[in-house]
Amino acid sequence: MGSITGTMGCRSSVADRRSEKVIRAAILIQNWYRLTMARLEMRRRYSLSIFQSIEYADEQDQLQLSDFFTFMLDHCTPPDSVSHAFTSPSVSQVVDEAFDVQEFENKICVPDSYYGPRLSFPLTVEHANALLHAFRNEQLLHARYVLQLLYETKKVLKEMPNITHLSTSYSKEITVCGDLHGNLDDLLLIFYKNGLPSEQNCYVFNGDFVDRGKNSMEIIIILFAFLLIYPNYLHLNRGNHEDYILNLRYGFTKEVSKKYKDHGNQILFLLRDVFSWLPLATIIDSKVLILHGGISDTTDLDFLNALERSKDQVKERIPATRSTKHMATRNVAGKARRLSSSGSTEPSGSNLPPEPTPKEWKQILDILWSDPRSQNGCTPNKARGGGCYFGPDVTAELFRRYNLKLLIRSHEFKPEGYEISHNGKVITIFSASNYYEEGSNRGAYIKLNPELIPRFVQYQVSKYTLRHSLQDRVGTIESTALKFLREKICAHRSELTSAFAQYDPEGTGRISVNDWAAAMESVLQLNLPWRILRSQLALLSPDGKVDCMSCFGDLEIAQPVKEVQPALAETLCRYRKDLEIIFNIIDKDQSGLISLEEFSQTWKLFTSHLGITYSESLDKLVLSMDYNKDGYIDFNEFLEAFHVVHRLQKKVDS
């Protein structure tokens, strides 16, 4: 009996030891998995922070140069016309109220070889379905139908109030969508999952339909078509990107010009008019406020509702995003100019209504550009350069004044497609998935029932995403983000070198990690975790200090001719986007060519505005790029010549 008991005890102890090993192994695997996932999440988060910080810095640059773009329009536009990007000799007729749809048919011929959708007005659901089918197959809508659609859309929008009031009693649920930014696949996926707009399926699209993505034109055509079919069941709020100057910088203008070469000017001009008539906000059941950006401690909904969005002429009444001293409009050669949502101004005729007051400017500025923050108070939005940061107390006060329950806004990238803040009172909804890079984020939309309880639907367009592991997807996002960051570092090389020198009085070329991080932030002002990013950007010397120049290690700015001074090449690289906008303003005939004299004068104005020392070496450079010596240069080739080259990538390519 004793031996049997001993044997059983021995077997029991062996089993216990085996079980203990299994548990230990499971714990090790679990810890490894958690550590791996934590590292991946850290990489994902700082990569998205890089994308967003660079995006906001770019917006800030745009706004800071808005008054210069105004100056350019003032001085480069003939007194009886608008810049080429917005008009042509025949376009004044397009926006004439007496000019009906039949005129388009008489003036623009649709050839028999065109096999795309053919529209007739009033539109029907069959027309909308034909558009969806065509765009899925990458077909274009003919320019005649585009112009007709825009003209009809303008007529409908002009009858709408600044703030649209909706009720859930007329439909079971209302769907709210955020930024789409030209991502057609997201819109098609939303319609697939949620159904097409109809009398039983009401939608609110909360601005930023265009820019960045490659199918902005298709998105607004679809949205405007459904607006015409169901004006009481599809609603559009204006976003900060429904603006002609932002469109010049972020791709929509270029997209339209490329897709509609012969009638691009007319389409752009009419689009600018249509954008100016978009409503500013929507209120559901007197409880839910929907607007694009946010609010401030001075937001006055009654005041906003009473504003005149536009008058008979094609002019926007959207405010500047600069400080008060920049809010005054200019008067050049007897022509008044009105500020747009990007802070630029527009040429205008003498029959316009009085210019908007600073209060009107600020009211609309705040609702288009502001972002929520967890801290109480209302402070300037320094990251974007326009609008404000508003805290929970600002939200609570607005709700108290207007008896509101919920604020739905967009305007801000969110990794999961939405975010809830201010104790559940503010919801950010962002509907563009894969916004920065394939796999970078989900999109989402909100379903509101009669009880006004939000239900979130997330999605992600996954043409390629599902084929890759999480580690591969994070690696792709991180690689792209770091590439953009390195290019920005290279474009500020001179300033960074000077900042490093301040922490290195002995000229060793090495500084502490803390000093390196401080120098990077002082110059780039991106509010990034530089100490974490250091291992990806710069090398450590044996003494534990950062080798300052190693962060420029595999980067250089391409130079078309050897004689170009590095400082000049750096300046041209840094301001390429701004120069592209300026050159497009100058290039009135859209030839892609500008004269050497125009180029030289523009550069002098630009450097003077920015406080950059003018270099005569640019004149020599421009002359050297006039390859056929006809006195003109191709400015697209000129700008492309100055870009950041990744030396390692260049070696691989070669």
DSSP state, 526?
Answer: -
Return the active site residues.
241
Alpha-carbon distance 232 to 244, whole Å?
A: 27
Q: How far apart are CA 641 and CA 145, in angstroms?
A: 38
> What are 470-479's pLDDT values in tens digits?
788 888 899 8
Residue 70 confidence class, pLDDT cut points 50, 70, 90: low
Indicate the range of 61-70, 398-407, 434-443 predicted with least confidence: 61-70
Residue 375: predicted pLDDT: 96
Per-residue tokens: 612: 């950059």
What Cα–Cα distance (Å) separates residue 418 from each residue in 102, 375, 409, 435, 444? 44, 20, 10, 13, 6
* 3-state percent helix, strand, coil for the chain, nearest multiple of 5: 50, 15, 40
- State both tokens at 530: 């530089």
Confidence of residue 99 (pLDDT cuts 50, 70, 90): low
**Does 122 sit behind a cis peptide bond, omega within 30 degrees of 0 on the bond before it?**
yes
Q: What is the pLDDT of residue 552?
A: 83
Name, of 104-118, 145-159, 586-600, the range with top average pLDDT. Answer: 145-159
Lowest mean pLDDT across 145-149, 523-527, 554-558, 593-597? 554-558
Q: 43-57, 86-100, 173-187, 482-496: lowest mean pLDDT where?
A: 86-100
Helical residues (DSSP H) of 101-163, grouped into ranges = 101-107, 125-136, 143-158
Q: pLDDT tens-digit profile of 356-393?
A: 678 888 899 899 999 999 999 999 998 888 899 999 99
Average the pLDDT over 597-619 and give the result: 71
Of 231-235, 384-388, 501-505, minimum mean pLDDT range: 384-388
CATH number of 566-653: 1.10.238.10
Kindly report, residue by residue over 436-466, the tens digit of the pLDDT: 988 899 999 999 999 999 999 999 998 665 5
288, 405 contact by CB (below 8 A): yes
**Mean pLDDT, residues 95-107:** 60
329 in Cβ contact with 355 (< 8 Å): yes
Tokens of 210: 């265009």
Binning pLDDT at 50, 70 and 90, where does residue 224 land?
very high
Residue 183, pLDDT > 80, answer yes
Name the pLDDT band for 340 (thresholds 50, 70, 90): low
- Using left for φ > 0, alpha for ψ between -120 and 50, and beta otherwise, residue 275 falls in alpha
User: pLDDT band at 555, cuts 50/70/90?
Assistant: low
CATH number of 101-294+413-459: 3.60.21.10
**Every domain of the chain and the residues it spans:** 101-294+413-459, 471-552, 566-653
Contacts 24+ apart (CB under 8 A), 571-574: 571/612, 572/639, 572/642, 573/490, 573/491, 573/642, 573/643, 573/644, 574/491, 574/492
202 burial (CB, 10 Å; 0-12 / 13-18 / 19+) is buried
Distance CA(85)–CA(67), nearest Å, equals 18
**What pLDDT score was predicted for residue 98?**
45
- Range list of H helices, 137-241: 143-158, 184-194, 216-229
Q: How far apart are CA 431 and CA 426, in angstroms?
A: 16
Fold observed for domain 471-552: Recoverin; domain 1 (1.10.238)
Q: Is the predicted pLDDT of residue 320 greater than 50, yes or no? A: no
Length, in residues, of the chain: 654
pLDDT score recorded for residue 83: 36
Q: Can 101-294+413-459 and 471-552 be said to share one CATH topology? A: no
Mean pLDDT rounded to a whole number for the chain: 81
